[in-house]
Amino acid sequence: MADGPTLLMRNTANASSPDRFMADAGALVSNLREQAASGGSLRKVAAGNTSSVGNQTIFSLVQCTPDLSPESCSACLMVAVDVRSTCASGIGCRLLRPNCNMRYEVQSFYNETRLQEIQTLTSSGPPPPSSPGSKGNNKTRTIIIIVVSVVVCLIIPVFGGILLIRRRKKKQWKTLESTPHEMNLAETLQYDFREIKAATSDFSNANILGQGGFGTVYKGELSDGQEIAVKRLSVDSGQGDMEFKNEVLLVAKLQHRNLVRLLGFSMEGKERLLVYEFIQNTSLDRFIFDRDKHNYLDWDSRYKIIGGIARGLLYLHEESRLKIIHRDLKASNILLDGEMNPKIADFGMARLCIADETQGNTNRIVGTYGYMSPEYAMHGQFSVKSDAFSFGVLVLEIITGQRNSSFRNGENIEDLLSMAWKYWRQGTIENIIDPVLRASSGSLRDMLRCIHIGLLCVQDNLTDRPTMASVVLMLSSFTISLPVPSEPIFFTSGGYSLKRAISKTYSSKEFESTISSSRDKSDRSSLSSKNDMTFTEFHPR
């Protein structure tokens, strides 16, 4: 009996109750293994089904080549019995070895009629003693031919289908210039396009959760009842294949309670889909900037959101085995679950730093106006400190309940950072706090401390900005004294605005055309903030 090679295919979708599901699947496969091993020299195949959690039915088929002894068949299928470690909680799994195979799914996949034919043929008793020897041999030979033919008919479509799917997935992913390791990772994450199409009711408008600059997000439900969020990238979105690949490979390796979990992706022709866990309460901007919903966010909720975002960024910057700079942190990219825990989303523009690298440089500046640090907006220099700048802006938005570019001061509309700095210098910083919070029982001391931390994060000199490790410590320990913040570069006494700063480095034509083009994209977005203007492809002189 040959031990290898072994071909393993898993459905990456997980059951709603993995422990119960895998216990049921393991018991079914173990029972079928015993049946197949004891099937005699003419029949070493068994199939059956069992009920599991969530009204699901698990179907399974195991099979050995007829030449194996009962012991060898049982040994060959032994690896299949431990489905929990072999199949990693997937709702479907296929294991192919030279002398045996196993498969289970949540829908029927085998031909019951052919299996019954095998049962009938092999359950017949031996020929009568009076029958001539040659006639008995002919009958035995006929049975063997029929059994082998049926077995081959069962194996070939399964094996051929698996090879076809693997080849198509590799070909699709190979077009994105991936390494062999990346292609193997992609195979474990790739969903069948038809499955996602069915889960979203053919991308029905009724299932739209929101629309952003890169495409539309749909709610879906897989066959096992699991709810998902599907990001369908538009062809003209500006997020190309490399950004798509970047998001898949980066997020797939990240696991943190304050990051949105990527379940997988799908590719079909020009279609590009990202499949995420479904987050119940959509994005943060839908709450803090909404006249009615922002009343639901008391100080405890907002403080928890600020702390969760800080811990998520700390994980990206220092605690994960990768060092990642997000580059597009903003209110619309923070999702809230049922308990209002924040989860950082949208890693299409994230950058991976190598080894001890803490910063990078690019001519392709991407991000959102008002959240970008000055060194990044003007020179393309990004680092963990540029993420800290975006975090500082976000903190001020959460506490004031107003957008960074449209702070309402009486009848006037001003920018949030300049108003925060103005009130800070005057010693009246509590005036920018959301009236809902000021009227609540929340700790004014905690609110003022968070504003102080936000101002430290938006300082001009990036070396003066705290790391996210320092921010998390500042938020959790009130015994640590905070340094005095310096004035943000964009809002000096001379009115040095972001637009004027960038126009010193780039021609006004380049700058205005980029803003205009990005505004057109932003106007189509109901998920993004009103000032979501994405800068792309700047070319410094």
Q: How many CA atoms lie within 13 A of 354 on its CB side?
A: 1
Phi/psi of residue 231, each to 5°? Answer: -95, 110
Determine the Cα–Cα distance for residues 282 and 527; give it in Å rounded to an integer: 9
Given 24, 328, 387, 460, the catalytic residue: 328
CA distances from 472 to 109, 306, 382, 478 (A): 52, 10, 21, 11
Beta-bridge partner residues of 100:
64, 97
Largest CA distance in the chain: 114
Contact assessment for residue 279 and residue 343, using Cβ atoms and an 8 Å cutoff? yes
Q: Which are the contacts of 236, defined by CB distance < 8 A and separation ≥ 6?
A: none
Structure-token pair, residue 478: 């009130």
Q: What is the DSSP letter of 126?
A: P
- With tokens 């499949």, the residue in question is 275
Q: What DSSP letter does each residue of 223-265 carry, written as one string?
A: TTS-EEEEEEE-TTSS--HHHHHHHHHHHTT---TTBPPEEEE
Q: Are 179 and 495 in contact (CB under 8 A)?
A: no
Closest CA to 151 of 107, 100, 103: 100
Read off φ and ψ for residue 122, nearest 5 degrees: -80, -15
Q: How many residues does the chain have?
A: 541
Q: State how far the Cα of 446 lies from the Cα of 229, in Å rounded to an integer.
A: 35
- Residues 94, 155 contacting (CB under 8 angstroms): no
Which of 20, 96, 90 lies closest to 61 in space, CA to CA? 96
> In this structure, are strands 100-105 and 208-212 parallel, antiparallel, or unpaired?
unpaired
Q: What angle do CA 119, 125, 131 make, to 5 degrees?
A: 135
Assess whether 328 carries a catalytic annotation.
yes
Q: Which amino acid makes up residue 291?
A: R
Strand arrangement of the beta sheet that strand 262-268 belongs to:
208-212, 215-221, 227-233, 271-277, 262-268
Is the distance from CB of 488 to CB of 458 less than 8 angstroms? Answer: yes
How many beta carbons lie within 10 A of that of residue 438, not counting itself? 13
Q: Mapping DSSP to helix (H, G, I), strand (E, B) and coil, where does residue 82 land?
A: coil
Partners of 62 in the β-ladder: 46, 102
CA-based nearest residue to 330, from 344, 313, 318, 310: 344
Q: 306: closest CA among 360, 245, 258, 248? A: 258
Consult the annotation and say whether 231 binds a ligand: yes
Alpha carbon distance 239, 241 (integer Å): 7
Q: Provide the pairing of β-strand 262-268 with 227-233.
A: unpaired
Annotated binding site: 231
Residues catalogued as catalytic: 328
Q: Which residues are annotated as a binding site for ATP?
A: 231
